Amino acid sequence: SLGIRLDSHQVTPQRGRKVWNLLADKKTSRSVVISSYLRKTGMNILALPLGTAQIENLPALLMERNRLGTVGVVSGSGFIRYRARYDDGASVDGPPNADDLKVPEKEDPALSKIASELGLASRPPPQTLETIASFFKNNFSYSTHLKRGRSVAPWRRNTPLTDFLLDHRSGHCEYFATATVLLLRKAGIPARYSTGYSVQEYD
């Protein structure tokens, strides 16, 4: 039911369906009230800060959580408002696993080429992070105007990521994020691409 189901399981509500415990034993000192519009049918992904242990006053008919920590609900309501209690420490996302080292077959040749040029296999993780960050900072530019590649190499299939890495070296945030995750994986560092919400203290 979730965007990527990944062994999702139901979360059981408590106190008359007013409280949903994600981490029942965790103590929290921070909370935030979140307002959102949801589809009235199907599963909706919830906006939650990292380290959320409990959700209150959420008008949901069903809640599921998968092993990566994604929480989804079927609500039946359009506009909802709920409180998320959170804190540092334990979170619901799962630890790294074999999936966090996988590289798509079509992009593997281009990623292998870049990883070899940067010498990622021989670097310790902190230096690998610095090397990849420097590689993008010094050789790429940000743009929402996407171009097609010029490659004629037989192993190239001109995927958008291949074009980004080896040809025009210009793209928007999703290209930088995807390429970074996959280069980290090529270096043996488990990595995930995530999208979501950043909850900050009010200033």
**18 has a pLDDT exceeding 80:** yes
pLDDT in tens, 48-75: 988 999 999 998 889 998 877 889 998 8
Q: What is the DSSP letter of 9?
A: E
Give pairs for 171-175: CB < 8 Å, separation 24+.
171/140, 171/142, 171/143, 171/146, 172/142, 172/143, 172/144, 172/146, 173/142
Task: State how far the Cα of 136 lies from the Cα of 25, in Å rounded to an integer.
Answer: 42
Residue type at 139? Answer: N
- CA atoms within a 13 Å half-sphere pointing along the CA-CB vector of 98: 0
Calculate mean pLDDT across residues 24-45: 89
pLDDT in tens, 145-202: 876 655 545 545 578 999 999 998 999 999 999 999 999 999 999 998 877 666 666 6
pLDDT in tens, 85-125: 999 988 888 788 888 999 999 999 999 999 999 999 999 99
**1 has a pLDDT exceeding 50:** no
Instruction: Read off the pLDDT band of 3 (50, 70, 90).
Output: very low
The pTM assigned to this predicted structure is 0.65
Q: Quick one: tokens of 163?
A: 């074009």
Of residues 6 and 62, more confidence is placed in 62
pLDDT of res. 146: 75
